[in-house]
Amino acid sequence: MSELRRDPVVDRWVIITDDPTLSPAIPRAASPVPEDPFCPFCPGNEHLCPPEILANRQDGSQANDSRWKLRVIPNRSPLLVVEEDLKRLGEGIYDKVTGVGANEVIIETPVHGRRQADMDLDELENVFWAYRDRIIDLKKDSRMRSVLIYKNAGEAAGATLGHSYSLLLALPIVPRDIVDELRGAEKHYAYKERCIYCDIVRQEIQLELRIVSETGFFLAIEPFAPRVPFETWIIPKRHSSRFEEIDSKEVGDLAAIFRDVLVRLDRALNGPPYNYTLHNAPFDKAYDKIYHWHMEIIPRIGIQGGLEWGSDLYVHSTAPEDAAAFLKGLIT
């Protein structure tokens, strides 16, 4: 029997149906990515990239040489640029803002074709430290209101190279998805004086129906109203609105649960392409009590059609309870 489910944060509805024709299309296992001598992200090709902003380097290595473990560089084709003057403009009822911002690339590993699920915990910790450090630095620019960090893994998810990287966009606005979450969180807090994400964590731990993995500091769950089969969230157990306030113990824990989730998704879905986004509070401290940072991982195993695009109503046939039980039962 089908049912409609409402996301308690953003009021988005999904339809979970038992129609077998809507079973998720499991992708074929991805072929290994061949070495690419022209990959600009590979060691030795640093001259093909803009000068690095931040790097985790081997002892004794110099900036922009080939002895690095992780690099952050400006995007060569930036969507937004820091050199632009911030101007808010209008055309009648329409609003415009000049294209000021920062667009950066986090090159996560020197090894071409190495997927995050295969990385060591130290490598993943380096990635998360880079996220934190860049957010802290970009917050100093008074023109910026938020930072969006996201990853496109695999061609079907929007990746343009076989080298593992993620992307950062600092913005003079707050993206709509975050605005929707802030509104939902604010409404919940006004009524109950509690963070809605903290309530989600408590309820999921109590019910044990949608938990995929758990560590001392983090919970990985299949959300109650997922947009796609096997959508997975990683949420801190303690209340924290800002990823950049993470400490060393939490970074290690995050690397462990993150890799565990990716390995489970790999085994369940034949190494699917995926996207993830780091949902973080805007720089305005007014949201500290009501918002809760988290990561949302979206495997790209389905196709969105007119219903999804026209209504923001998502339809699929995999209940999150079934997805969680399946993922949790996998041996990693």
Q: What is the pLDDT of residue 14?
A: 83
Q: What is the pLDDT of residue 35?
A: 53
CB proximity list for 213: less than 8 A, separation 6 or greater:
219, 220, 257, 260, 261, 264, 327, 328
pLDDT per residue over 200-235, tens digit each?
999 999 999 999 999 999 999 999 999 999 999 999
Residue 80 has pLDDT above 80, yes or no: yes
The b/e string for 105-127 (b: 16+ C-beta within 10 A; e otherwise) is bbbbbbebbbbbbbbeeebbbbb
Residue 112 has pLDDT above 90, yes or no: yes
Residue 317 has pLDDT above 60, yes or no: yes
Q: What is the pLDDT of residue 22?
A: 60
CA distance 166 to 258: 15
CA distances from 3 to 8, 13, 19, 41, 211 (A): 15, 10, 11, 46, 21
Least Cα distance to 75 among 107, 50, 92, 57 occurs for 50
CA distance 302 to 293: 26
Q: Is 72 in a helix, a strand, or coil?
A: strand
Q: What is the pLDDT of residue 87?
A: 85
pLDDT per residue over 114-140, tens digit each?
999 999 999 999 999 999 999 999 999
Q: What is the pLDDT of residue 306?
A: 74
pLDDT per residue over 1-46, tens digit each?
678 888 889 888 887 787 666 656 555 555 445 556 689 999 999 9
Q: Is the pTM of this model over 0.85?
A: yes
Range from 14-18, 68-72, 96-100 that averages highest in pLDDT: 68-72
pLDDT per residue over 241-279, tens digit each?
999 999 999 999 999 999 999 999 999 999 999 999 999
Q: What is the pLDDT of residue 27?
A: 58
pLDDT per residue over 173-201, tens digit each?
999 999 999 999 999 999 999 999 999 99
For the range 195-202, what are the long-range contacts, defined as Cβ-Cβ under 8 Å and sequence gap of 24 or more? 195/239, 195/289, 195/290, 195/291, 195/292, 196/8, 196/9, 196/290, 196/292, 197/9, 197/235, 197/239, 197/291, 197/292, 197/294, 198/239, 198/292, 200/8, 200/235, 201/235, 201/237
Does residue 103 contact residue 75 with C-beta atoms inside 8 Å? Answer: yes
pLDDT per residue over 136-173, tens digit each?
999 999 999 999 999 999 988 889 899 999 999 999 99
Beta bridge partners of 74: 104
Q: What is the pLDDT of residue 327?
A: 95
Question: Does the structural domain 3-329 have CATH classification 3.30.428.10?
Answer: yes
Q: What is the pLDDT of residue 34?
A: 52
Q: What is the DSSP string of 225-289?
A: S-SSTT-EEEEESS--S-GGG--HHHHHHHHHHHHHHHHHHHHHHTS--EEEEEE---S-GGGTT
Locate 316 and state its tokens.
Answer: 């699929």
Residue 54 has pLDDT above 90, yes or no: yes
Say which range, 39-48, 286-295, 305-314, has the weakest mean pLDDT.
Answer: 305-314
Least Cα distance to 236 among 270, 202, 268, 206 occurs for 202
Give residue limits of the domains in the chain: 3-329
